[in-house]
């Protein structure tokens, strides 16, 4: 059954309603599961696991130091520096290194997933995508992506600085700027898919492009992103709790003297599996962003429809324009019905 499912090509260049965006995201993930994650892990997944390993080790040292301090005969002396107690015995380089590698990994993961899906859509047919192809696309887009990331960070930094500054001036100004900044996040939601998929658009013009795509679809964008974010959060939290239970149980067994090497390996393996699982959920969230991007492009520009007409011989220019006009009217009607239901 899985083999048959893997042979199915998932059409992404089509307008999709609320439920279809979610179902198409799952369909794409399941239809390309093995090859997709093989490619993503080869390019960016290993750095994510490494960063989470460093952060987990730092947190483990933090908890051990905290428990050790509490159990110490002296405990926390009155007037003592509590943080000095907690930091003592910990190597903060693990925290710094893990955080920097994590940021690098997340940026590369976005770039890798978007590049994979760009190649998938450009093929327009079922054909295995190799890691080398995706890596070449990643390298081709790397500097543009880094520049866009820096610019995006600066824009959000300025917006947040304005919000914080307004809090000291006026409560009303703070309230409206806070709402405005929150709305801006979703208007810029497709900024990076635009950067990766549209070669002719530069990092500045991409802001206008994503505003154009999201215009009239803000509530749709907010709703579907919020629901899937909550779903991903719950699934990640579930695994985190299970992982914490395994680590806690392993630590108890180790402390009781009844443990051995096998228990230690089991605890480490469980933690690594939880990290990988969380990373896969994160990748699914990026897939959803791409599906939304292609849906919005089709709604606004009918790119997929135009390509289909041209591939079939197309007819004359007037017939092509008429077909696109009819399809856009149908898509507009579907959009309005979806917005009313939502």
Percent of the chain with pLDDT over 70: 66
Task: Tell me the average pLDDT across 291-313.
Answer: 74
- Say whether pLDDT at 217 is over 70: yes
Q: How big is the chain by its Cα radius of gyration, in Å?
A: 24
CA 215: distance to chain centroid? 22
pLDDT surpasses 80 at 71: no
State the average pLDDT over residues 233-239. 79
On whether the CB atoms of residues 98 and 58 are closer than 8 A, the answer is yes
Write out pLDDT tens, residues 117-143. Answer: 999 998 877 778 999 999 999 999 999
Torsions phi, psi of 7, nearest 5? -90, 0
CB atoms under 10 Å from CB of 110, counted, come to 21
The separation between CA 329 and the C-alpha centre of its own chain, rounded to angstroms, equals 32
Q: How far apart are CA 341 and CA 227, in angstroms?
A: 15
Least confidently predicted of 132-141, 218-227, 257-266: 257-266
Copy the structure tokens of residue 58: 């730092």
What distance in Å separates the CA atoms of residue 186 and residue 175, rounded to the nearest whole number?
18
* Contact between 191 and 210 (Cβ < 8 Å): yes
Mutual angle of helices 33-40 and 261-301, in 10-degree steps: 110
pLDDT band at 260; cut points 50, 70, 90: low
How many Å apart are CA 30 and CA 19, to the nearest integer?
Answer: 17
pLDDT for 327 beyond 60: no
Q: Once rounded to an integer, what is the mean pLDDT over residues 174-203?
A: 87
Given this model, what pLDDT does residue 209 score? 93
Q: What pLDDT, on the 0 to 100 scale, is given for residue 290?
A: 93
Q: What is the pLDDT at residue 333?
A: 45
pLDDT band, residue 216 (cuts 50/70/90): confident
Comparing CA positions, the residue from 318, 327, 320 lying closest to residue 300 is 327
CA–CA separation, 289 and 332 (whole Å): 21
What is the percent of the chain with per-residue pLDDT over 90, rounded to a whole number? 25
Residues 6+ away with beta carbon under 8 Å from 282? 106, 109, 232
Q: What is the pTM of this model?
A: 0.76
The pLDDT value given to residue 116:
95
Range of lowest pLDDT (36-50, 72-86, 272-286)? 72-86
Tokens at 38, concatenated: 């093989």
Q: Which two tokens stand for residue 194?
A: 């635009």
Mean pLDDT of the chain, nearest integer: 76
Residue with the bigger pLDDT between 205 and 57: it is 205
Contact 270, 247 (CB under 8 A): yes
- Token pair in block for residue 252: 């108890």
CA distances 320 to 308, 309, 333, Å, are 10, 7, 20
Any idea what DSSP says for residue 200? T
> Considering only CA atoms, which of 157, 41, 58 is closest in space to residue 100?
58
Q: What value does the mean pLDDT take over residues 5-10? A: 68
């Amino acid at each position: 059954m899985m083999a048959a499912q893997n042979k199915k090509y998932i059409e992404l260049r089509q307008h999709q309603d609320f439920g279809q965006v979610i179902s198409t995201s799952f369909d794409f993930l399941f239809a390309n599961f093995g090859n997709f994650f093989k490619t993503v892990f080869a390019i960016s997944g290993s750095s994510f696991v490494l960063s989470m390993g460093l952060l987990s080790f730092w947190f483990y040292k933090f908890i051990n130091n905290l428990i050790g301090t509490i159990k110490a005969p002296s405990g926390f002396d009155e007037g003592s520096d509590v943080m000095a107690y907690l930091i003592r015995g910990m190597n903060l380089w693990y925290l710094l290194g893990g955080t920097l590698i994590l940021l690098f990994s997340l940026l590369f993961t976005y770039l890798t997933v978007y590049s994979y899906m760009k190649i998938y859509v450009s093929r327009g047919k079922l054909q295995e995508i190799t890691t080398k192809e995706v890596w070449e696309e990643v390298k081709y887009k790397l500097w543009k992506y880094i520049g866009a990331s820096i610019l995006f960070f600066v824009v959000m930094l300025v917006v947040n600085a304005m919000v914080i500054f307004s809090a000291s001036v006026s409560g009303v100004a703070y309230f409206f700027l806070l709402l405005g900044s929150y709305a801006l996040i979703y208007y810029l939601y497709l900024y990076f898919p635009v950067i990766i998929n549209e070669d002719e658009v530069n990092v500045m013009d991409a802001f206008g492009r994503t505003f154009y795509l999201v215009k009239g679809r803000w509530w749709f964008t907010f709703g579907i992103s919020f629901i899937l974010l909550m779903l991903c959060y719950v699934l990640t939290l579930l695994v985190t709790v299970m992982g914490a239970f395994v680590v806690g149980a392993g630590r108890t067994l180790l402390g009781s003297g009844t443990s051995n090497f096998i228990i230690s390996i089991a605890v480490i393996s469980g933690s690594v599996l939880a990290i990988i699982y969380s990373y896969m959920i994160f990748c699914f969230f990026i897939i959803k962003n791409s599906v939304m991007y292609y849906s919005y492009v089709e709604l606004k520009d009918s790119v997929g429809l135009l390509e289909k007409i041209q591939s079939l011989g197309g007819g004359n220019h007037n017939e092509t324009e008429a077909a696109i006009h009819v399809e856009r009217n149908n898509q507009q009607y579907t959009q309005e019905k979806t917005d009313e239901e939502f």
